[in-house]
Amino acid sequence: MFKTTGLGSSEILEKVQAKSVLTAEETAAFDRVKMRVEQICQRAFETQVPVLMDAEDSWIQNPIDDMAYEMMKKYNQQKAIVFNTFQMYRSDMLGNLRNAFHVAAMHNYFLGVKMVRGAYMEKEAERAANLGYPNPIHPSKQATDDAFNQGLAFCVDNKQRVSVLCGSHNEYSNQYLTILMHKHGMKTNDQRVWFAQLLGMSDNISFNLAKAGYNVAKYVPYGPVESVMPYLLRRATENTSVAGQSSRELGLIRKELKRRRG
Ligand SMILES: Cc1cc2nc3c(=O)[nH]c(=O)nc-3n(C[C@H](O)[C@H](O)[C@H](O)COP(=O)(O)OP(=O)(O)OC[C@H]3O[C@@H](n4cnc5c(N)ncnc54)[C@H](O)[C@@H]3O)c2cc1C
């Protein structure tokens, strides 16, 4: 997985999305970002190791999407090697997913989907309020959850062309995906479906899925400390404030310790 803003400046991506005129220097910098994305995807294709492009802020996402589909067209001819990320907290995202599927079908390539709920809810709301446009995020957690689970169902329904990686610590969504696979008669280790959690988070979910034979990846954040710390802090806050998955995990560990002590 990689963040495109780790390969170039987000200011340039924002200008590209806003269709602002770039200076010659900015055009050259944007070309370098595209070249780096291409190098990563080409290497992924050569080694046949899937690569997943992260989703970021909605005001820089369009150029990231464009690059992702450009790469899929090139490298996903036989199977999904390049994956784009769909943030299901955005109210337009189920539509975007269907669209991406139709474009893939039209150009006859495989669609790689990394499905997440989305990490920048507060930032999105703040910018929308400041600039006076409607908040692009669903009005409730339930609406995000419903969209996420519908998205999973859409991917499994279209498994002939779609591979999906469920990037989530939500117990129900992970379980729901196993139910969908079972309903569709898919083997637990079908290469078109992956589950992913962060290293050190929701091990109860990852380990149980892996034990049952599902494909599981642990995501290891890597990068300069000033970029990785805010990332980890966001995850830590999310996991203690929302739905309490982390405290649930701690509760399970305590229960197991008690059981072993007898
Ligand atoms: C492997 C992996 C890769 C990831 N990659 C990305 C990425 O590329 N881009 C990215 O943005 N995030 C990414 N994330 C983070 C992800 O988007 C979530 O922020 C995080 O996983 C928490 O959501 P959850 O599905 O685990 O479950 P939960 O804890 O059930 O859901 C929390 C999420 O629900 C949504 N939510 C909460 N309250 C509300 C509300 N009131 N209204 C609407 N929605 C609400 C928010 O998205 C919040 O983060 C990744 C996570 C993982 C595990």
Q: How far is CA 71 from the centre of its chain?
A: 16
Residue 246 — very low, low, confident or very high, per pLDDT cuts 50/70/90? low
Nearest Cα neighbor of 236 from 195, 183, 200 is 200
pLDDT at 244: 54
- Residue 195's alpha-carbon distances to 17, 113, 198, 255, in angstroms, are 31, 12, 11, 25
Percent of the chain with pLDDT over 90: 82
Per residue in 233-245, pLDDT tens?
777 776 665 455 5
Q: What is the rounded CA–CA span in Å between residue 18 and residue 39?
A: 26
> What is the whole-number distance in angstroms between the Cα of residue 116 and the centre of ligand 1?
6
For the chain, give the mean pLDDT. Answer: 93
| Of the listed ranges 9-13, 20-24, 246-250, the one predicted with least confidence | 246-250
Residue identifier of the C-alpha nearest atom 17 of ligand 1:
118
What number of other Cβ atoms are within 10 A of residue 214's Cβ? 21
Provide CB contacts within 8 A for 157, sequence distance 6+: 184
Checking if the pLDDT of 144 tops 90, the result is yes
Q: What is the rounded CA–CA span in Å between residue 36 and residue 21?
A: 22
Q: Using most ligand atoms within 8 A of CB, pick from 96, 116, 241 the residue to mutate for ligand 1.
A: 116
pTM listed for this prediction = 0.93
Percent of the chain with pLDDT over 70: 96
Report the pocket of ligand 1 as residue ranges, CB < 6 Å.
54-55, 85, 87, 89, 116-121, 137-138, 140-141, 144, 167-170, 196-198, 219, 238, 242-243, 245
> What is the whole-number distance in angstroms between the Cα of residue 88 and the centre of ligand 1?
8
Per residue in 34-43, pLDDT tens?
999 999 999 9
**For the CA of 165, the nearest atom of ligand 1:** 1
> What is the whole-number distance in angstroms between the Cα of residue 117 and the centre of ligand 1?
4
Q: Using most ligand atoms within 8 A of CB, pick from 58, 117, 242 the residue to mutate for ligand 1.
A: 117
Residue identifier of the C-alpha nearest atom 36 of ligand 1:
141
Q: Give the residue-averaged pLDDT of 209-228.
A: 90
Residue identifier of the C-alpha nearest atom 30 of ligand 1:
170
Per residue in 70-121, pLDDT tens?
999 999 999 999 999 999 999 999 999 999 999 999 999 999 999 999 999 9
> What is the whole-number distance in angstroms between the Cα of residue 239 and the centre of ligand 1?
9
Q: Give the residue-averaged pLDDT of 242-253.
A: 65
Residue 158 — very low, low, confident or very high, per pLDDT cuts 50/70/90? very high
What number of other Cβ atoms are within 10 A of residue 167's Cβ? 24
> What is the whole-number distance in angstroms between the Cα of residue 118 and the centre of ligand 1?
4
171 close to 142: Cβ distance less than 8 angstroms:
no
The number of C-alpha atoms within 13 Å of 259 and in the hemisphere containing its C-beta is 6
pLDDT at 239: 63
Per residue in 22-67, pLDDT tens?
999 999 999 999 999 999 999 999 999 999 999 999 999 999 999 9
Residue 156 — very low, low, confident or very high, per pLDDT cuts 50/70/90? very high
| Residue 93 token pair | 């995202």
112 close to 84: Cβ distance less than 8 angstroms:
yes
